[in-house]
Every structure is written in structure tokens, then in C-alpha cells.
Structure 1
Amino acid sequence: MNEHEGVWVFIEQNNGDIEGVSLELLGAGRKLADKLSVPLSGILLGMEIKSLAAKAISYGADQVYVIDDPVLKDYRTESYMKGVIMLAEKYKPEIFLYGATANGKDLASAVATDLSTGLTADTTMLDVDVEKRLLEASRPAFGGNIMATILCKKHRPQMATVRPKVMKALEPDNGRKGKIIEEKIELSESEMRTKVIKIVKDITKKVKLAEADIIVAGGKGLGDSKNFELIHELAERLGGTVAGSRDVVEAGWLPHEQQVGQTGETVTPKIYFAIGISGAIQHIVGMKNSELIIAINKDPNAPIFDVATFGIVGDALEIVPKLIEQFKQIRIETGGEVSYVGKI
């Protein structure tokens, strides 16, 4: 395993731009590579995508391996797997990170199988044991009740998929220099067993939790679904988006696409209200990187207060109506948009 060296990040691209999770992973990968004193490499596959390599370098990569070929125009497991495996067998990375997107998870599992190595899925924390050169990939386990750190001691590369929004991208440095290494794939369209006929965009009206600046989330501490209407009212007053804990979704108070947590969405809003949410690990991993967290709970020892910026101990059914009234009084019109300022 001594021949394996370097940290790699799969650079997922769509519609001519790099996915946000890949930029976040370059930030995380930069920290791991610096600890190990090895280069950080981006792996970029597609058609007419060489120009994106400079962006990956500006976000922390030392070098980018590029395979630019018409057979890679659209994502397909077979073609992308062959390209990645060819690079991995030739250059032998020590650590290989992928975004936990639909394509990232599909590709990572296929590559791990072919390379006979381990893969930690849906990782929420990354670190490295420098002395033993082991990737420490942590994720909630047993229904979110504990954090498990998973090691791959006997095989390389050590691989993990990482959920979007749990890592932070570096500030881009457009003056940063790096190396672009072009490779070719020995695969023609006629050899492909699948073909992309048409790509249909998702046009369903789902709640875009990941894009929300203000999220008002409620938990089972509100008592019943009728009381949960306070969450909707506060969110409407703030111009925010409603979310909930897993218990709320399982009780049928909200649809699954509005769940925050390990088995739901990972979010990083500017303001996150956690109302009647105790703060199980399963939930916290999905919202802990919010800029400002305001927690309301009867239990002064609730774990949610450990990650909260501001905490209010008390009955949410008494506190939330007062908040709604206060926000009514401090509404400010700014350029056609409504924003709210004040202290809780």
C-alpha cells in the first residue's frame, strides 16, 4: 500500500459547471492533503470540460486529471467507471472522495467494487490519522444515535461519499497555479451497452430546503399537528421555508422532502429555527453548519442547545406566538423583498 499517495476528489459537473459539493470536497480534501503532505488532485470527466479544471485549481486542487471525450458527454456508470478506474490504477491515490449525489454514489460504489476496496457512504466528518495514514470517515449509525468512525486499513484507495453542505468550500483564488494532466479513455460509443436518449429535468414543485436562507423547523415537542401550524405561520412571517425532524415526518405532519437530518436534507441556511426539536445526532448533522441557530425547547439539557447560537428554554406554544407578533412589528421593505432584523 506504500505505492499509493495523494488525495483525490471526483469533480462532478453538470451543464457546464462544477457541482457545489465537489467544491466543498476540494476544501475538505485540501485539509487532508496538507496533513499528509501530499498533493490534492481533482478528477474531471466529460465532454468539452477542460476549462473547468482551472476552477478546480482555484478552489484548492494542485492538479486536475482530465478525460475529455464525447463518450463521456452524459453520465453513465459504465463509461465514467472505466475512466476513473483507469486513472486510479495508473496513478494510485491514497484517498478518494466523492459527493453523495445520485451520480457520485453510483460511481463510487461501482469503482469500489471493481478496485476491491472499502467505501464509507454519506460521511459527515472527515479527518486523517497521519501516523497510520488512515482516513477517518465518520457518519451517524444505529438510527442516528451514535457517530461511527469507519477505517479502511487493508485496501487502497480509501473511499468515501460525502453529503452536500456538510463541508465548506475554500474561497476561490483565481491566481492559484496548478497542473492539468490530460488523459484519454479507450472506449468508443459503439462499445457502450447503454445510451442516453433524453434527459428530463425534475419539474416537480418540491421544497428547496438546500437553497433556503431561513428555515423554521419543528419537532414532536410541539405536541400534535395542529400546534405545528405555528411553524408554518412563523415561516410565512419570515419569508422562510418549513422543515421538520424525522419524528415529525414519520408522524405524517410533513412530507419527507421537508425533513432535515441524516435521512433527510442537509441544509446551511443563514438562520435556522429549531423549535421543539431535542437535537438527536441524526438531526444535528443535517443543520449544524447553519450560520445562526435559534433553538426553543422546554428541556434546558436538550442536545440542540449545544449547537445553538441562541437558546430559549420554555414552552414553544407560548414563545412562538410572541415571536410572530414581534416579527410583525419589525418588518422592513427592501427593494421589493421583505427582510427581518432584531434580536431574539
Structure 2
Amino acid sequence: MNSLLNKLRIKSDAGGSPTLSSVDCDSTLQEENALADEQDAITGHLSGTLQLSDELLKTPTDPNKDFGYTVPCEGSSPTRSNVTFEVISAEVIRDGRSGHVNYTVLINPHRDSPKGKETVITRRYSDFEGLHQRLKKRFPSLMSQISFPRKILTGNLTSSTIAKRSTAFEQYLTHIFSHFDLRYSHEFMEFFVQDGFHNAVQLFLSQDLSRASELFEQVLPILDKLYGDSHPHVFHCLCALVVCYSRLERTHAALTCAEVALRCSGSADNDLLTSLIQATVRLSWTLGKDKSELERRLEAMRARSSNSNNVTPKSVRELCDILTEVFQLRMRH
């Protein structure tokens, strides 16, 4: 283009207006025509529609790729037998002339457990008292051995009272956790997750998978820190996240959850485990990852099932269908 401009010699006529000489015009016109011919030739070779795959168009911040997604479960601690509890802060909430204290409790798994993100809950005195009364009603003999800080009418917002209660609550929760029946009671679990697990299941059953996944993500680390990743609730949370993220087209997150769930499937129902493996195979294929080992494991499970029942291997049911039945049964009880 510069060579073309250099050959445009501008001359001034008598009136001072710039003009092009006729010779220069002819030369310029010839070069412009030649340039147009070259462009047409290039365009002919590049004819067609330029398409970029959806994968190339996605950026690292695209939620469908889930770069950096981490499952809120370690997947490496089958049981918890020595969990302690620490009140790390206490906040006075005033409402006019009255008020209450919010105690933030850190759940400390066994010191040999892998270090992960801290898991905390915030509860007030009435929450602890409610737990105590429910456990006393169900386990009167066991609870007769466990002391609970008494309620006081005045001075409950003083720093001295808050400090004493903080220590008492730590000892109280640790003492309850040391008893197997109390530790695995519904009342104790509900104190930590409140209505989170129940509401997550309800949202899952109503197919509100986006909100369900948020609640499962919230309760999963609490259950994992309390009971270890072999607990059925932990496994079911992970399976539910696999279903949610698969349906929400968050394939990377779904596969990550599925891989952790397989590590937490020690006591899982055979049908549910088989469906989980099938879902993991499908997710691996979608993302172009090796699935040969999973396929061998799936075939071995189906073969064992066939041999034990002396029937033709049955088709694997969808993970969502089996998990729905599990949750429906739990809701009825």
C-alpha cells in the first residue's frame, strides 16, 4: 500500500487545487486493479464460514469449565474418632435492651488428618440448650453423665460469662462426640447442619438443582469433618452433586465430585455404586479422559452380580433415579 501512495504525485494547477497527472492516474489505476485481483484470488481460497469450537471459545472463567473447582470433602478419612471443638469467637448481638451471644465453633478433626479448609458453625445459647434437651429426652441415661452450663437471668452478656460458656460448650460437644450413640444421633447431626441437609434433599427432589447444589456444598464439609467420608450422608451428598452438576452442564465439577465419591464408597449400596461408576465413565468420555479402568471395574461388578444371582447382567440404572429413591425413603422416615 505504501508503494502505491508513493506513486501518487500531487501537482497544483493554476488555481492551487491539487490534481493528479493523467500518466500517474493510469499507473495508479493499473496497480489498484492488480491489487484487487490478488485479493480476489486469496478470498477464493478462504471461501466458506470460519467456525470456532465451543471449547475454544470458553475462557478460564467460564463456569462450565470449573477451573480450580475443589470438592469440599477430603475423600481420605474413612472415620472420625477424635474430633474436638473450639469456640474461636463470640459476638454479642444486641436488640434494644436485650441481646444474645453468637458462638463460632471450629470443628477440629483428628490431628493426623490432612489439613483442609477450616469448617465452622455459629450457634447461640438457645441452640445448645435445644440440643441438650432433645438428647436428654432420647438418651436419658447417657445424658445424665454430661453437664450443661445453666441458664442465668442476668449478666449473660458479660465477658466473664461468655468466656466460661465458651469453655463449657467446647467440653460439652467433645463429651457428646466421645459417645458413639450420641455422636451418630440425628439430633447431634441436626445441631451442626440444622435444616441444610433436609432442605437440600427437598430441592433435589423438586429438581431445583442449582439451589440444591449450594446447600449440599454447605453441609458436605461439616459432615465430612464430623464423621469422615465413609458416612452414608457424605457419600449421598457427593452423588447428589454429581447429578446436579451434570444436569447444570458443569461437567468438570461433576467429574471431580464423582472421583471423590468413588473414594468414599466403602459401604455404598451396590446398585448406587454401579450407577456412580457408569456416570463417571460417561463424564470421563465427555471430557476426553481415560475411562478404561472404570469400564473394567463396571464390567467386573456386573459379572459378579450376574454370577451371584444366576441371571443375565441387568442394565445399570441412572444415578439420579436411584438417588431419588434413597432420598424419598429418607423423607418418609
- Could you say which TM-score interval applies, normalised by the shorter chain? under 0.3
| TM-score, normalised via structure 2 length | 0.22
- Indicate the structure (1 or 2) with the bigger Cα radius of gyration: 2
Higher strand share goes to which structure? 1
Higher helix share goes to which structure? 2
| TM-score, normalised via structure 1 length | 0.21
